[in-house]
Structure 1
Amino acid sequence: MQYRTPTRLARPLSVIGQGCWQIGADWGDVSSDAAHAVLDAAVDAGITFFDTADVYGDGRSEQLLGAMRARLGADGGAASDLPFIATKASRRADPFAPESFTEENLRAWVERSRRNLGMDTLDLVQLHCPPPAIYREDRVFDVLDALAEEKKIAAWGVSVETCEEAMLSLEREHLASIQIILNPFRLKPLGEVVPTADAKGVAIIARVPLASGLLTGKFSPSSQFAANDHRSFNRHGEAFDQGETFSGVDFETGLTAVARLEQALDGAMPLAEASLRWILAQQGVTAAIPGASSGEQARSNAAAGSAPTTEQAEVLGRFDAAVRETYDELLRESIHPRW
């Protein structure tokens, strides 16, 4: 596993983090045993960075991570050796109502996460895709700064839907991280967001790195998803931003794009591994945070965090050309202007 230390976080993070939405909710049923297996496999594979949110399973994901952290601490691990846990806040109230972003609410959300995770000082709190107007309101960021001064949080960042929101966030002096959808189906962040963040020492966390599983190459036109899986109920943005599901790509178009990318790989590397390695090869990216619903998936994802061999680098060069050609021909028109 490789590790990178963004300047404003000043902590080494594994380049593959463990996304913990799946062990919370909205991906079908994931049992407690399966969730613990995911976390244990991730730790064993060298993952030190875990990403969650207070709304994932109404706190279930945070509580599972809190239990993991407590267990590792009880095993004699020093506080500095414990996993880095990033959580998110702001979607417990109406996430699209700017008036819900009060100091009282922000503080209450942070306190709840501190309890769920069993942490006096949260490693990183990210605004969870707030409404666009919030990025221009000093009052919200003033509260985050105050929480940092009080040592209730060590750092704060944002999880954004659009590149415009990311660029607005980068104007904030104390911004430590930006979480943004970045994968072979979403190239726009590479144009301005990632280089600007890199220059400022702001971490770039690539979320939805496998396009909700599309970039595993395991789906077909007949694939079915559970009723409580967002890949069933949010394909057109019915519940939250459409970009969160399959990266906003139409499912059938995505399958066509996947076929082209797999043809370029010609069996030299699994598509999921190539996609993760491609993300990590982009200058300025700190980490990618794929989810997993089993220990096997977590281990497979983690394997993409090793330094590429010469042969793998050659495959990735071929893959990069296919990614950019496929994006331009199949995806740019529908994806680029929107996000």
Structure 2
Amino acid sequence: MSFRILGKTGWKVSEIGLGTWQVGGGWGKAFDLKKANLLLHTAFDLGINFVDTADVYDGGLSEAAVGQAVRERSEKIYVATKCGRRIQPHLNEGYTTERLRRFVEDSLRNSGLDRLDLIQLHCPPSEVYGRDEIFGLFEDLRSEGKIDAMGVSVERVDEAEQAIKYEIVSTVQIIFNLFRQRPADVFFHQAKEADIGLIIRVPLASGLLSGKITPSTTFGKDDHRHFNREGKALIKAKPSLVFRSQKPFLQ
């Protein structure tokens, strides 16, 4: 396994990290703690020391599985989680410092960890990136020892550009894959200049680039790939149809 420094965090992390949305639901299969534990420990055995999860992945079960597996290891495993998507309707007005503080404390309880290595805003509405009090909250949480670092998970490049103006922001999680190349053209150099760690999400385009999806592939009714960005069910998940319909693959 190769390692690199994750921006201004100073952490030496594996170049390949483990995303755990699939551990906590949304992919057509019920949560299975035994399988989750096996997946996590296999990744750790292979040298992965960076795990990304979120509080909305099966109502905190993914965070709990990650926390349990990390506590069972002797080596340092960096845990990144996310908050904000529990706010429904998902609007700027719903983002308050009180709610976000509660979400961070919930994640600490879910994971059983004394401190969160990295907490990320989970693709909030664009207006949130301009609110000083939101980012000030995470300064407070770091001073209180509840988090070590803060980052953002974004939908658009302009959101990433706005977020990195805040000193507290150490990382940006952004979509980048064969279909989504724009960040390399307009943002990656900005991240390097600001010493921002990049966390690449949807690198395999939700499985489309895995080599396992064929024209005959179908997804279960509870699998997020069964629906297009408007929430309409797809009759047949052909790769070309998935590419046109799924929000993660659209610029």
2-structure distance, mates of 1:47, 1:117: 19
1:6 to partner: Cα distance: 2.5
Q: Of the candidates 235, 239, 244, which is equivalent to residue 251 of structure 1? A: 239
Q: Which has the higher helix share?
A: 1
Q: Deviations over 1:206-256 (max 9, x none)?
A: 0000000000122122111111100002x23429xxxxxxxxxx831678x
1-structure distance, mates of 2:173, 2:11: 16
| Counterpart check, 1:44 vs 2:37 | no
1-structure distance, mates of 2:186, 2:71: 40
Contact kept, 8 Å, 1:8 with 1:203, in 2: the verdict is yes
Where do 5+ consecutive residues of structure 1 fail to align? 240-249, 256-330
- Please state whether the residue corresponding to 1:26 is helix, strand or coil: coil
**Residue 58 of structure 1: aligned partner:** 59
- Please state whether the residue corresponding to 1:8 is helix, strand or coil: helix
| Counterpart check, 1:110 vs 2:104 | yes
1:142 to partner: Cα distance: 0.8
TM (normalized to structure 1)?
A: 0.68
| Counterpart check, 1:23 vs 2:23 | yes
Q: Which runs of structure 1 show a deviation greater than 4 angstroms over 4 or more consecutive aligned residues?
A: none
Contact kept, 8 Å, 1:21 with 1:56, in 2: the verdict is yes
1:95 to partner: Cα distance: 5.6
**Residue 134 of structure 1: aligned partner:** 128
1:174 to partner: Cα distance: 2.0
Contact kept, 8 Å, 1:95 with 1:130, in 2: the verdict is no
C-alpha change, 1:115 and 1:335, in structure 2 (3 Å) is closer
Letter in 1 for 2:127: A
- Please state whether the residue corresponding to 1:4 is helix, strand or coil: strand
Q: Of the candidates 196, 206, 212, which is equivalent to residue 202 of structure 1? A: 196
State the number of aligned residues: 243
1:335 to partner: Cα distance: 9.3
Q: Deviations over 1:162-200 (max 9, x none)?
A: 111111112112210000000111000001211110111
| Counterpart check, 1:83 vs 2:94 | no
Q: Deviations over 1:103-124 (max 9, x none)?
A: 1101100000011111222100
| Counterpart check, 1:2 vs 2:8 | no
1-structure distance, mates of 2:105, 2:173: 22
2-structure distance, mates of 1:171, 1:192: 16
**Residue 70 of structure 2: aligned partner:** 69
C-alpha change, 1:236 and 1:120, in structure 2 (3 Å) is same
C-alpha change, 1:335 and 1:208, in structure 2 (3 Å) is closer
1-structure distance, mates of 2:230, 2:156: 15
| Counterpart check, 1:99 vs 2:100 | no
Higher relative contact order (CA 8 A, sep 6+): 1
Q: Deviations over 1:304-324 (max 9, x none)?
A: xxxxxxxxxxxxxxxxxxxxx
TM (normalized to structure 2)?
A: 0.91
Where do 5+ consecutive residues of structure 2 fail to align? 233-237
C-alpha change, 1:7 and 1:214, in structure 2 (3 Å) is closer
- Please state whether the residue corresponding to 2:151 is helix, strand or coil: strand
1:93 to partner: Cα distance: 1.6
Q: Which has the larger radius of gyration?
A: 1
1:139 to partner: Cα distance: 1.1
Q: How does 1:149-160 map to 2 (within 5 A)?
A: 149-160=143-154
2-structure distance, mates of 1:225, 1:34: 20
Contact kept, 8 Å, 2:214 with 2:239, in 1: the verdict is no
Contact kept, 8 Å, 2:174 with 2:198, in 1: the verdict is yes
Letter in 2 for 1:215: L
- Please state whether the residue corresponding to 2:208 is helix, strand or coil: helix
Identity %: 40
| Counterpart check, 1:215 vs 2:209 | yes
**Residue 192 of structure 1: aligned partner:** 186
Contact kept, 8 Å, 1:6 with 1:12, in 2: the verdict is yes
Q: Which has the higher strand share?
A: 2
